[in-house]
Copies of this chain bind each other. A is one copy, B any other.
Amino acid sequence: MKNIFSTKPLAAAGALDGAGIGFDHGASRAVIDAVLPNVDNGRFAVKCVAGERVTVRAHCFTDGHDVLRVQLCWRAQDQNQNQKEFREVPMKPLVNDVWEAAFSPPSVGRYVYTVVAWVDPFESWRHEMTRRVDPQDVRIAAQVGALEIAAAAARAEGSDRAELQRWATELDATAANPGADVTSLKALALDDEYADLVRRHPDRRHAVRHPVELPLVADRERARFSTWYELFPRSAGTVPGVHGTFRDVEARLPAIAAMGFDVLYFPPIHPVGRMQRKGPNNALEAGPDDVGSPWAIGAAEGGHKSILPALGTEEDFRHLLARAADHGLEIALDIAFQCAPDHPYVKAHPDWFRWRPDGTVQYAENPPKKYQDIYPFNFECEDWRGLWAELKSVFDHWIGEGVRIFRVDNPHTKAFPFWEWVIGEVKREHPDTIFLAEAFTRPKVMHRLAKLGFSQSYTYFTWRNTKEELQAYFTELSTAPGIDYFRPNAWPNTPDILHEQLQTGEPAVYMSRLVLAATLAANYGIYGPAYELREHLPRGPGSEEYLDSEKYQLRHWNHDDPASLAPFIARVNRIRRENPALQRDRGLRFLHVDNDQLLAYAKASPDGDNVVVTVVNLDPHNAQWGWVGLEPASVGVKDGQPFQMHDLLSGQRFTWQGDWHYVRLDPHSVPAHIFVVRRRHGDERDFDYFL
Contact = CB atoms under 8 A, between A and B. Distances in A.
A423 to B, nearest CB: 9
Given A389-B2, A389-B4, A420 B128 contact: no
Interface in A396-438: 412-418, 420-421, 424-425, 428
A20 B392 CA distance: 19
Contacts of A211: 14
A15 B65 CA distance: 32
A144 B357 contact: yes
B445 A415 contact: no
A96 B21 CA distance: 37
A486 interface: no
B144 A356 contact: yes
Contacts of A495: none
Given A26-B415, A26-B418, A417-B26, A442 B214 contact: no
Contact of A14 (B97, B213, B366, B420): B213
How many identical subunits does the complex contain? 2
A64 interface: yes
Contact of A368 (B4, B13, B131): B131
A65 B173 CA distance: 80
A393 to B, nearest CB: 9
B27 A425 contact: no
A63 B412 contact: yes
Interface string A252-279: 0000000000000000000000000000
A445 B25 CA distance: 19
A115 to B, nearest CB: 13
A7 B380 contact: no
Interface in A337-361: 356-358, 360
Given A41-B15, A42-B11, A96-B442, A22 B417 contact: yes
A44 B17 CA distance: 9
B64 A412 contact: yes
B29 A379 contact: yes
A15 B31 contact: no
A662 interface: no
Contact of A64 (B27, B112, B392, B413): B413
A143 B357 contact: yes
A386 interface: yes
B143 A29 contact: no
Contact of A42 (B4, B15, B27): B15
Nearest to A59: B444
Contacts of A31: 416, 448
A157 interface: no
Contacts of A97: 442, 444-445
B29 A40 contact: no
Contacts of A2: 389
Contacts of A388: 26
B206 A444 contact: no
B42 A14 contact: yes
A294 interface: no
Nearest to A211: B14
B379 A27 contact: yes
A367 B212 CA distance: 37
A34 B206 CA distance: 34
A12 interface: yes
A16 interface: yes
Given A12-B112, A215-B11, A421 B23 contact: yes
B61 A417 contact: no
A319 interface: no
Contact of A417 (B20, B34, B415): B20
Interface residues of A, number: 92
B213 A15 contact: yes
A23 to B, nearest CB: 7
A357 B366 CA distance: 81
Nearest to A66: B380
A82 to B, nearest CB: 16
A381 B211 CA distance: 24
A33 B420 contact: no
A472 B685 CA distance: 34
Contacts of A444: 33, 59, 61, 96-97
Contacts of A691: none
A388 B4 CA distance: 10
Given A4-B425, A23-B421, A140-B357, A13 B213 contact: yes
Contact of A442 (B61, B357, B386): B61
Interface in A357-392: 357-358, 360, 366-368, 376, 379-381, 384-386, 388-389, 392
B147 A357 contact: yes
Nearest to A380: B27
Contact of A77 (B12, B40, B41, B119): B12
Nearest to A16: B43
Interface string A90-131: 000000110000000000001010000001000000001001
A179 interface: no
Contacts of A59: 444
A379 B13 CA distance: 28
Most buried by B among A10, A144, A368, A381: A10
A18 interface: yes
A25 B63 contact: no
A166 interface: no
A255 to B, nearest CB: 39
Contacts of A65: 366
Given A18-B43, A96-B442, 6 more contacts: A5-B389, A11-B43, A11-B44, A22-B417, A133-B368, A140-B357
30 contacts: A2-B389, A10-B421, A10-B424, A11-B43, A11-B215, A12-B215, A13-B112, A15-B214, A16-B16, A16-B40, A16-B41, A17-B43, A18-B43, A20-B417, A21-B421, A23-B421, A25-B417, A26-B385, A27-B380, A27-B381, A31-B448, A61-B444, A62-B416, A63-B379, A64-B412, A65-B366, A97-B442, A119-B380, A132-B367, A143-B357
